[in-house]
Amino acid sequence: MRGRSAFERVVVFVLVLGGLWALWEGYRWLWLRTGWTRPFTVNEYTLPHLHDIVLQLGEHTSTGDDLWLFLLHAALFTARAAAVGFLFGATIGFLLGVILAQFDVLRRGIMPYVVASQTIPILALAPIVVRGLGSVTVGGSPPPDWLRVSVIAAYLTFFPVTVNTLRGLRSADPRALELMHSYAARGWTVLWKLRVPSALPYIFTALKVAATASVVGAIIGEAPASIQEGLGGAIINFNQYYTLDPENLWATNLYAALLGIAFFLVVVLAEKVVVRRAPERLV
Amino acid sequence: MTGEAVVSLRGVSKSFAKGGVTALQGIDLEVAKGEFVSLIGPSGCGKSTLLRVVGDIVEPSAGEVTVNGKPARRARLDRDYGIVFQSPVLYDWRTVAKNIALPLEMLGWDRSRRSARVEEMLDLVELTGFEKYHPWQLSGGMQQRVSIARALSFSPALLLMDEPFGALDEMTRERLNMELLRIWDETGSTVVFVTHSISEAVFLSTRVVVMSARPGRITSVLPVELPQPRTFETREDPSFFELVTRVREALHATGADEVEEALPLDEGIA
């Protein structure tokens, strides 16, 4: 195989990390020293020291916990909403893609609305949906906060999955379709044995996009609906006290980024397990 | 011609709505059980279309097509034929064994029956030991052998082959020609074989059907009475050259100038 050794990967990772750190701190140092104000003035608020952000994780917050633990709880709350939303959105997206691929009439009729759904600013839609669902009662009580938030994550997730499923299902080799025809295969057999496996690389490309989008969706779902427990709540909160502790907000962003990366890696791992394909033919 | 007809075409024509192209016109052909018939002609003569008409993949505009005495559609639904394309058309996500088992799954064979047949098929195409490989790990020639094994796995009476060795190098092609004849002999199947190599057509066939382009028509049918089984020496037999020359002349008589460029230069005199 042409893959690099684990040692090389670690070296590259450390080098890139070091490079980013050097860029950040070098920029900060140079701008502070020269007093340059373009494109933005550098000070403790716009560009704190990276080590200050990391050290801040050990500080107490107003809740009594250390920041790292507080953010870990927040990240887990957001992760649950994002994961449920991702699974839900990916399932809906896949099924919608399959249905639209099977029925041409539906595809022409429904696709414009699917596209339109993504042009509505999520920031405007999220509070309406999350608050609205708060007044719905299911079995005597409104759905829990994280479940309402997961709807927004699902909303951002389904679209890329639908589009790529549709594209992938239509990517099957015409000769392979003739082959299935020669076996007198039924539509569902062709779908299951040929079209879906052909579509998998496309679907996984969409799932990678959707994985990070679901985290963003969950954060955006929490933020304007004043749900406090997650990273979205933490962002709103720390934003208000930014002049006091700018590192708190930066640290929150760090957690959000790590959560997005974790989601992405899970999809990459799943792809390696599921998709059996010549390395150069992976989309 | 002796024996019952496996394939029978009467007055078959095909024109495509797009551009009003007449791909096939007035095709009459009978292929008897156990025959090996090659269709040869210039590019665009409709030989691949003709093969697809037999397989009920393309519907003829006119005429009657029967396979095993049944309408082509019925024969397809009964899985009366296996098909091999120029590209192997293997499923990347399936191993060699599972690719060969694909038609058997559709026929509802159970697992143990499938794996027993897959083993037989691997033996037939001499790929035993490769069952767990994925297609992309095999050479082009090996991939095409898997494709042949898949086509024969459910023992169809008829094997349709659309330039199956056209993308392979000359050495591999000659070896697979031998292998195909051995398989044909062992399975006793009937083969309709599309090619644009004159020597391949002569070497393999019991009859060579020569076609002309635009519209695609059968211009001559040449019986190949070389002794069976064919061997590597067959290609050096004077009567082999004679037949190659006759097929070439028949092709030129169709006015098909494209034929020259479509043929390898080492045809004929060695």
CATH code, domain with B54: 3.40.50.300
Strand partners, B12: B27
Give the residue from chain B lying closest to A274, CA to CA.
B93
In a domain, B147, yes or no: no
Write out the two tokens for A277.
């394909």
Instruction: Identify which has the larger pLDDT, B44 or B134.
Output: B134
Domain-embedded: residue A175: yes
What residues make up the domain containing B19?
1-78+192-270
Cβ separation A276–B106 shorter than 8 A: no
Query: In this predicted model, what pLDDT tens digit does every residue of B170-209 receive, in sequence order?
Result: 888 888 899 899 889 988 899 999 998 999 999 999 999 9
Residue of B nearest to A1 (CA): B137
Count the domains in chain A. Answer: 2
Three-state DSSP string of chain B: CCCCEEEEEEEEEEEECHHHEEEEEEEEEEEECCCEEEEECCCCCCHHHHHHHHCCCCCCCEEEEEECCEEHHHHHHCCCEEEECCCCCCCCCCCHHHHHHHHHHHCCCCHHHHHHHHHHHHHHCCCCCCCCCCHHHCCHHHHHHHHHHHHHCCCCCEEEEECCCCCCCHHHHHHHHHHHHHHHHHHCCEEEEEECCHHHHHHHCCEEEEEECCCEEEEEEEECCCCCCCCHHHHHCHHHHHHHHHHHHHHHHCCCCHHHHHCCCCCCCC
Claim to verify: residue A130 and residue A24 sit in the same structural domain: no
* pLDDT > 90? residue B31: yes
Does one domain contain both A109 and A17?
no
- If asked whether residues A213 and A249 sit together in one domain, one would say yes
pLDDT range class, residue B81, cuts 50, 70, 90: very high
Q: What is the ipTM of this complex?
A: 0.86
Q: Are residue A6 and residue A98 in the same domain, yes or no?
A: no
Kindly state whether residue B142 falls inside one of the protein's structural domains.
no
**A65 located within any domain:** yes
What is the structure's pLDDT at B257? Answer: 54
pLDDT beyond 50 at B83 = yes
- The residue range of the domain holding A31 is 1-47
Q: Decide if A52 is inside a domain.
A: no
A152 within some domain: yes
Binning pLDDT at 50, 70 and 90, where does residue A137 land? confident
Number of independent structural domains in chain B: 1
| Cα separation of the two ends of chain A | 18
One domain for residues A146 and A22: no
Any idea what the CATH number is for the domain that residue A241 is in?
1.10.3720.10
Length of chain A: 283
CB contact under 8 A, A175 and B57: no
B105 lies within 8 A of chain A by CB = yes
Chain A residues with CB inside 8 Å of B55's CB? 182
pTM, two decimal places: 0.83
- Give A2-52 pLDDT, tens digit per residue: 556 888 989 999 999 999 999 999 999 999 889 888 888 888 888 888 989
Residue environment code for A202-233, b if the CB has 16+ CB neighbours within 10 A, otherwise e: bbbbbbbbbbbbbbbbbbbbbbbbebebbbbb
Q: Is residue B180 part of a domain?
A: no
Please write the tens of the pLDDT for every residue from B149-161.
Answer: 999 999 899 999 9
Say if B114 falls within a structural domain: no
Query: Taking 50 as the threshold, does the pLDDT of residue B266 lie above it?
Result: no
State the pLDDT at residue B205: 95
Stretch 124-143 of chain B: residues touching chain A, C-beta under 8 Å: 134-136
User: Do residues A43 and A77 share a domain?
Assistant: no
